[in-house]
């Protein structure tokens, strides 16, 4: 009889262990959790209100709903002891009422479907001493009857201070309403950009431009996390790379601070 009770006790021990395994809260990766991960697109510009777009990914498996906007998330930013609440405006875009300050570190908190996603960024200070060597660039005339080769103008040299090895990105936008293309043929895009690099100068030759007219030259001071988005994501038949993100807890997308300065250049 004592043996029987011993056996019973041992059996009970096993049952308890099985129950313990079965009942433990599930914290592991699951399909549902994986598919519901939000995609964040948040750029913090100093002096402007915080604007963050939240969407879900478009699933490969039987996803007929192409409206990916997430409208029921709860989002707030903290900077030290300050809190900025963001409210949904439209189509998955959330905005704050207060403006962003330069040189400040912000943490984003996004509560969606019971999960908290977070990301941190520092809003950089404005680029210093952004100058251009000229305000115009003249496109040489080819085959104008002078007989000799055309004279190529000097490129416009953009300069700024970069003492701390920060990343910079130059975006050039044509602001004409009906721009005239430099060369016949396919019409290039009115805007172009450089690759994010740790540089302090950039040369804009006339060949860089596609159109005549006024151009806005924006120098963005960006963070490393944003620069990572430009990495070749390398998806091929041999490799599949996971896109870069700085959102925690399995979130996707980018949350980053940027600061810019602007110059004007005319192509004649």
Partner 1 sequence: MHTLRYLLLPFLLLGSYTVNAQNIDSVRLDKLYVGTVSKILDDLQKDTGIRFKFDRAKCDELVYSDRPFNEPVSRFLNFMCREHKLKYLRLDDGSVQIMGKYENPEVELLRTKQRYRGAVKHRNITVSGTIQDKNTGESLPFVTVRVLGVPLGVTANVDGQYTILNVPTDTNSLIFNYLGYEPALVHLSPEAPFTQLDITLVANGTTLEEVTVTAEREELMRASEQVSAFKMTPSKLSTLPSLGEKDIFRSFQLMPGISAANEHTSGLYVRGGTPDQALTLFDGFTVYNVDHLFGFFSAFNANSIKDVQLYKGVFDTKYGGRLSSAVEITGKDGNNRQFNVGGDVSLLSANIWVEKPFGEKVTTIFTARRSWRSPLYNTIFQRFSGENESTNNLPFGNQNASVASYFYDVNAKTTWKPNKKDVYSISFYNGADNLDNSIKPQIPEGFGGGGGGFGIDISDITRWGNTGASAKWSRRWNKKLYSNNLISYSNYFSKRERGVSGNVPDGNGGETEIRRGTFEDNDLKDYSAKTDWEWQVVPSQKLEFGGFITKNDIAYSYSQNDTSSLLDRHTDGTTAGGYLQDKMTYWGERIQFTPGIRVTWFSPTQKTYYEPRANLTFKVTPKIKLKAATGLYYQFAKRVIREDVLSGSRDFWVLADDDRLPVSSSRQWVGGISWENKNWLFDAEAYHKTLDGLSEYSLRFTPAMGMGAFTYDEFFYQGTGKARGIDFLLQKKYGKLNGWLGYTIGETRQNFPVYGENDFWAANDVTHEFKAVGMYKWRQWDFSATWIFATGRPYTAPEGAYQITLLDGETTDFLNISAKNAYRLPNYHRLDVAATYRFASDKGSIGGSLFNLYNRQNVWYKNFEIVNNTVVSTNVNYLGLTPNLTLTLKLR
- Give the residues lining the site for partner 1 (CB under 8 A): 3, 6-7, 10, 14, 17-18, 21, 27-31, 33-35, 37, 39, 41, 43, 53, 55-60, 63, 68, 167, 169, 171, 173, 191-193, 196, 220, 222, 224-231, 233-244, 248-250, 252-254, 258
Choice between 25 and 81, CB closer to partner 1: 25
Give the DSSP per-residue string, 78-107: EETTEEEEEEEEETTEEEEEEEB-TT-EEE
Least Å distance, CB 69 to partner 1, is: 12
Choice between 138 and 229, CB closer to partner 1: 229
Q: Which among 175, 187, 185 has a CA at the least distance from the CA of 213?
A: 175
In this structure, how many other beta carbons lie within 10 angstroms of the beta carbon of residue 53?
Answer: 16
Least Å distance, CB 81 to partner 1, is: 26
Choice between 2 and 80, CB closer to partner 1: 2
Least Å distance, CB 175 to partner 1, is: 13
Choice between 120 and 138, CB closer to partner 1: 120
Least Å distance, CB 17 to partner 1, is: 5
Dist CA 106 CA 122 (whole Å): 6
Least Å distance, CB 167 to partner 1, is: 7
Containing H/E element for 50? strand 49-56
Q: Which residues contact 255 (CB under 8 A, 6 or more apart)?
A: 40, 42, 44, 52, 108, 119, 120, 121, 225, 246, 247
Torsion angles phi and psi, residue 96, rounded to 5: -95, 170
How far, in Å, are 136, 156, 161, 170, 234 from residue 202 at the CA level?
Answer: 16, 8, 12, 8, 27
Q: Which among 40, 222, 200, 224 has a CA at the least distance from the CA of 130?
A: 200
Choice between 118 and 153, CB closer to partner 1: 118
Least Å distance, CB 168 to partner 1, is: 12
For the record, the structure tokens of 218 come out as 């924006």
Choice between 76 and 244, CB closer to partner 1: 244
For the record, the structure tokens of 127 come out as 């680029």
Q: Give, as one character, the DSSP assignment of residue 143.
A: S
């Amino acid at each position: 009889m004592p043996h029987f009770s011993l056996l019973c006790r041992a059996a009970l021990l096993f049952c308890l262990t099985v129950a313990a395994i079965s009942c433990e809260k599930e914290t592991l990766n699951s399909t549902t959790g994986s598919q519901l991960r939000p995609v964040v697109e948040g750029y913090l510009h100093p002096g402007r209100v915080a604007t963050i777009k939240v969407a879900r990914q478009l699933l490969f498996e039987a996803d007929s709903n192409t409206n990916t906007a997430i409208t029921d998330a709860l989002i707030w930013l903290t900077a030290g002891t300050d809190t900025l609440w963001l409210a949904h405006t439209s189509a998955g875009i959330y905005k704050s009422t207060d403006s962003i300050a330069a040189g400040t570190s912000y943490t984003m908190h996004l509560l969606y479907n019971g999960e908290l996603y977070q990301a941190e960024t520092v809003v950089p200070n404005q680029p210093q001493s952004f100058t251009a060597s000229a305000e115009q660039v003249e496109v040489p005339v080819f085959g104008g009857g002078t007989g000799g080769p055309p004279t190529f103008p000097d490129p416009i040299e953009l300069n700024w201070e970069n003492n701390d090895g920060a990343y910079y990105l130059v975006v050039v936008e044509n602001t004409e309403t009906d721009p005239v293309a430099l060369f016949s043929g396919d019409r290039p895009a009115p805007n172009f950009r450089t690759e994010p690099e740790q540089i302090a100068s950039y040369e804009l030759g006339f060949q860089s431009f596609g159109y005549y007219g006024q151009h806005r030259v924006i120098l963005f001071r960006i963070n490393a996390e944003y620069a990572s988005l430009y990495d070749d994501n390398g998806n091929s038949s041999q490799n599949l790379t996971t896109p870069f993100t700085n959102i925690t807890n399995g979130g996707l997308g980018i949350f980053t601070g940027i600061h810019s300065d602007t110059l004007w250049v005319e192509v004649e």
